[in-house]
Chains A and B, each alone.
Chain A
Amino acid sequence: MSACIGSSAAGARTFTATSSQGLLLMAEMTFIAPALRLPIVMAVANRAISAPINIWNDHSDVMTIRDCGWIQIFVENGQEATDMSIIAFRIAEDKNVMLPVILNLDGFTLSHFIEPIIFPEQEKVRRYLPAYETTHKLDIAKPISMGLLGAPEVYTEARKATDDALVASKSRIVKAFDEFADIFGRKYNLVETYRAEDAETIIVLMGSIAETAMTAVDEMRDAGQKVGLARLRLWRPFPIEELRAAVKGAKRLAIVDRHISLGFPEGPVATEIRALLFHDQDRPRISNFILGLGGRDVPRDHFKYIVERAEELGDAGRQGHYEMVGVLE
């Protein structure tokens, strides 16, 4: 990441990829890249962190740098990973954004699997993503100093400015998604829903397990259950209005975390959504389920189970502590 910051500061389009311990090792630098407003794109093949040492999929690596200031996208499948790797540059290099983008793709489930995809045509990619030009760079003809010391008189303002830029990037992300749809015909939203319109219980999650969850939702629907799915594609900046719209009318949310916040009764996805909806009237009952840690399989039955439990817990008015799904005791 240090070398990427140097390369991006020199004005070159810069990409890197990492995972797990590698991400934690560069954690210090991930906070610096957005503050310097460098449009680096990084693919993170999300994998568990030590200990015990484990190389398989969950979201605990990227959750440790949740507050680092990057735009963070979670993809569902190979097609989306491919498309988003192009879209990510378009977002990052937008003159109104100029922030780095993390492309989260589930380790192994997406990073090491072969699946058929429609490969974007070179000519269309060029049209969608022109060559990167910037004046925000190290330039001998027009020297600037990057990375100056921020004393207490300016540090607060600098951090606020970075947050403002990150929050403001949301509309540009939507624009980048819309223009991608115009050229390539594949439309992406900040939050995707599946059979959620009249659902009483909505499963909320991120990443590739959404495909399994959709199958489970179909089966539950066939059995007459009013169940739907909402998947966060954008994690930072948090799509507040889009999430609210996606779960509107639901009685219960079964929120899935693939990271454990040790010492706290909820995972980060559940905590954040609960906080966002806290002041809403008619807010849904929220239950939190932690599953799929360190590559543990997440079968369809897990989703049926959490819907059942969300109904039991929610209707009993009990909320507030995660339930670990599939844990052997």
Chain B
Amino acid sequence: MNFLKSAEVPFDKITVKTFPKGPDSLAPGHRACQGCGEVLALRLLLKALGRDFMAVSATGCMEVCTGPYPQSAWEMPWLHVAFENAAAVGSGVDAGNTILRRKGKLPDRRIPVVAIAGDGGTADIGLQALSGALERYHENFIYVCLDNEAYMNTGIQRSSATPFGASTTTSPAGKFSKGQNTWKKNMPAIAAAHNIPYVATASPAFHLDMMNKIRRAAAIPGPAYIHVYAPCPTGWRMRADLSVESSRLAVNSRVFPLYEVIDGQYIINKKVDKPVPVADYLKPQGRFRHLKPEDIEQISERVNHEYEHLVKMSESFAEPRF
């Protein structure tokens, strides 16, 4: 166990000048939809790690679009097993690496194992596997949730990460329904409740911030959880060129705040003192088109309430956890 505070663990920070120039770990030619924000986030995250890591994917969009045999977009060791178990599989890879390292069969250095899943594979079906992997405290384990807020791969069915008011094929808006009638599950808080050293949210519109977060996650010994906003033009019924803009609006409207939880301490990375109206964020997305002004007002209130709660969390000092 490392007794350095996690926030003080050094890592090679990416700036505009030091942006990695090497080839991507995720090759072009994959089958993602036009304008996919998820694959953009994934490519940049992996670029931050270079080629010195192993990846595990859950079944889902990213797995299907990157690996139709005999083709594979993965330039590094990659393993896909099933839908609900990316965390368990990743923890197994880390356990295997650890024992091989102990026996001198692998070089004596840490190899990050990145488990990647969507919101369904994380917040719904994969939650138990994730909780177990975080609790077992795998030293080199990074879990990335690419959250496009529904089961997009199977046809836009709602998940527990689908936001209130969003119309999906299983929460369709209509005469008797406003779309999704529950509030989005707070996955980063659930991850942080496992007392792991590092939890973060990230957005492809703030790509340097996002890339540095996975670098930090890899540097800190212990499990890490990164929740990534992953716009899906197809599932959100949004213009394909709006993925990055939508990601930016999500942060600037406080809908998807950027923050870290390091050793239990909440840190807001981008304070949003003058938020853009939530309506501006919702408007370009067809999944919210049915919402009435009072619905948007209700969502707005909730968004601001959650943001203020986050601010309070960041202002309260967390006891060092040693």
B105 → A minimal CB distance (Å): 8
B129 → A minimal CB distance (Å): 7
Across the interface, name the chain A residue whose C-beta is closest to B77. A138
Across the interface, name the chain B residue whose C-beta is closest to A12. B96
Which residue of B70, B85, B90, B99 contacts A12 across the interface (Cβ within 8 Å)?
Answer: B99
In the complex, whether A3 has a CB less than 8 A from a CB of chain B is: yes
In the complex, whether B188 has a CB less than 8 A from a CB of chain A is: no
In the complex, whether B63 has a CB less than 8 A from a CB of chain A is: yes
CA distance A28 to B88 in the complex (A): 14
User: Given contacts A2-B129, A6-B90, A151-B69, are A143 and B76 in contact (CB under 8 A)?
Assistant: yes
In the complex, whether A150 has a CB less than 8 A from a CB of chain B is: yes
**Contact: B95 with A145, CB < 8 Å?**
no
CA distance A2 to B97 in the complex (A): 15
**Contact: A6 with B76, CB < 8 Å?**
no
Of the listed stretches B50-58, B175-183, B220-228, chain A binds B50-58
Which residue of B68, B78, B95, B129 contacts A7 across the interface (Cβ within 8 Å)?
Answer: B95
In the complex, whether B199 has a CB less than 8 A from a CB of chain A is: no
In the complex, whether A5 has a CB less than 8 A from a CB of chain B is: yes
**Complex contacts, B52 vs chain A, CB 8 Å:** 140
The main secondary structure of chain B at its interface with chain A is mixed
**Contact: A3 with B89, CB < 8 Å?**
yes
User: Given contacts A3-B89, A10-B97, A143-B77, are A148 and B72 in contact (CB under 8 A)?
Assistant: yes
CB interface residues, B 52-109, toward A, < 8 Å:
52-54, 56, 63-64, 67-72, 74-82, 85, 88-97, 99-100, 105
Q: How big is chain A's contact interface, by range? A: 20 to 34
Which residue of B79, B88, B91 contacts A138 across the interface (Cβ within 8 Å)?
Answer: B79
CA distance A272 to B281 in the complex (A): 62
User: Given contacts A11-B100, A29-B85, A154-B70, are A146 and B78 in contact (CB under 8 A)?
Assistant: yes
CB interface residues, B 13-59, toward A, < 8 Å:
51-54, 56
In the complex, whether A227 has a CB less than 8 A from a CB of chain B is: no
B interface residues, how many (CB within 8 angstroms): 38
CA distance A147 to B72 in the complex (A): 10
In the complex, whether B303 has a CB less than 8 A from a CB of chain A is: no
Cβ-Cβ contact count across A and B, 8 Å cutoff: 118
CB interface residues, B 98-125, toward A, < 8 Å:
99-100, 105, 111
A135 → B minimal CB distance (Å): 12
CB interface residues, A 1-26, toward B, < 8 Å:
2-12, 14
In the complex, whether A32 has a CB less than 8 A from a CB of chain B is: yes
**Contact: B81 with A29, CB < 8 Å?**
yes
User: Given contacts A2-B85, A29-B82, are A148 and B91 in contact (CB under 8 A)?
Assistant: no
CB interface residues, A 152-210, toward B, < 8 Å:
154, 158
B247 → A minimal CB distance (Å): 27
Which of B75, B79, B88, B95 has the most C-beta atoms of chain A within 10 angstroms of its own C-beta? B79
In the complex, whether A149 has a CB less than 8 A from a CB of chain B is: yes
**Contact: A6 with B88, CB < 8 Å?**
yes
In the complex, whether A114 has a CB less than 8 A from a CB of chain B is: no
CA distance A17 to B74 in the complex (A): 33
**Contact: B54 with A146, CB < 8 Å?**
no
A281 → B minimal CB distance (Å): 45
A138 → B minimal CB distance (Å): 4
CA distance A185 to B70 in the complex (A): 47
**Contact: A9 with B80, CB < 8 Å?**
no
Interface contacts beyond A138-B54, A148-B67: sample of 20 additional A-B pairs, CB < 8 Å, sorted by A = A3-B91, A5-B79, A6-B88, A6-B92, A6-B93, A7-B92, A7-B93, A8-B96, A11-B105, A28-B82, A29-B81, A143-B75, A143-B77, A145-B72, A147-B67, A147-B80, A149-B68, A154-B69, A154-B70, A158-B69
Those 8 A-B pairs whose CB atoms lie nearest each other, nearest first: A6-B92, A10-B96, A3-B92, A138-B77, A147-B80, A2-B88, A2-B85, A7-B96
- Can you offer 14 A-B residue contacts whose CB atoms are under 8 A? A3-B91, A3-B95, A5-B81, A6-B94, A10-B94, A12-B96, A12-B99, A14-B96, A29-B81, A138-B78, A139-B77, A143-B75, A143-B77, A148-B69
